[in-house]
Amino acid sequence: MTPQPGFQWIQILYALATLFVVLNYGLLMTALVQKIAARVSGRHGIPIWQNYVDLVKNFALRSQISHGVMYYMGPIFRLSGGIGLLLFVPTIYGLPWAQNFSFAGDLILALYFVFFGTLGMALGAGESGHPHSAIGVSRGLSQTTAAELPLALAVYAIAVQYHTLNIPQIVAAQQGGIAHWTLITNPLATIAAMFAYVGTMMRAPFDVVLAPQEIPIGPPTEYHSAYMALMQTNRAIFPVAKTVVYMNLFFGGASNWLEFALKVFALYLIPAIIGVVHPRFRVEQSIRFFLKWGLPVGVLAILVV
């Protein structure tokens, strides 16, 4: 296959380096947020290195259970969504090796990867053999679809505002200080997108799929060994990749790794703090929340632009 114009093979190594940095950052940040939540509840929490131990342990295990092919493809699709999302957006603005493959796609492609992993896990759950898997699938797809509506409207608003769907160009338009961020120039689009961000991070009150307060079922118990390790890897990469997209679109991007770490951590704390202080919604409450609050704000963002 003929390489696209501007493609160089060294960019594959650069993309792998970005993936390595984000994976380790995600593992550490996830453990830190869990520890913060535990301290709020009066518990000690897990060690910071616990995610590494779990990852190595699960990759070393092998499964003796046999299901359909799609059951095993579910975690692969899930991880592909997280990695694909990360590699088609720029990580650090102005740093050549951290642009990844952002030249090869646009915002529409990034949004596709956001939904790709969810669809893959839904197909995998369908072959899990669990009698209640359809409940988890319907919960997940219903909430994800409702949460994506405000994001789609926010993306349309900023596309009209910046006259492009190219993520590096959107980041470039926000350079020059906080006054140029979409947060300031289009606050309604930012608010609508943040509704979607909090909802798709799968923390309380929007953790209706895993429903940890109920009988433990779903992917964390249906999948195990190396398949669980793939899901743990994605759980470190995908939230960071999703946060990078929001950082680029609404908060001016990042011009160095320190700014990247601080902005991503600050955004990541928003759903974590909300999850600590709020109980879980019922499914209908979650969907009604996005339609009642997120959707009208998204419509207003487009009308204002």
Res. 91 pLDDT band, cuts 50 70 90: very high
Residue 292 domain-assigned? yes
pLDDT for the residue numbered 3: 41
Residue 5 domain-assigned? no
Residue 4 domain-assigned? no
Residue 3 domain-assigned? no
- Closest Cα partner for 223 from 117, 83, 151, 129? 129
More confident residue, 213 or 146: 146
In this model, does residue 240 exceed pLDDT 90? yes
Averaged pLDDT for residues 228-232:
85
Give dist(CA 288, CA 294) in Å, integer. 10
Averaged pLDDT for residues 129-147:
79
Residue 153 domain-assigned? yes
Most confident of 26-30, 67-71, 204-208: 26-30
Ranges 7-21, 22-36, 260-274: which has the least confidence: 7-21
In this model, does residue 217 exceed pLDDT 60? no
Name the domain count of the chain: 1
- Closest Cα partner for 128 from 257, 59, 236, 221? 221
For residue 88, which amino acid is it?
A: F
Q: How far is CA 176 from CA 11, 181, 188, in A?
A: 28, 9, 21
What residues make up the domain containing 52? 10-304
Residue 178 domain-assigned? yes
What pTM does this model have?
A: 0.88
Q: How far is CA 90 from CA 96, 108, 172, in A?
A: 9, 15, 11
Residue 96 domain-assigned? yes
Residue 72 domain-assigned? yes
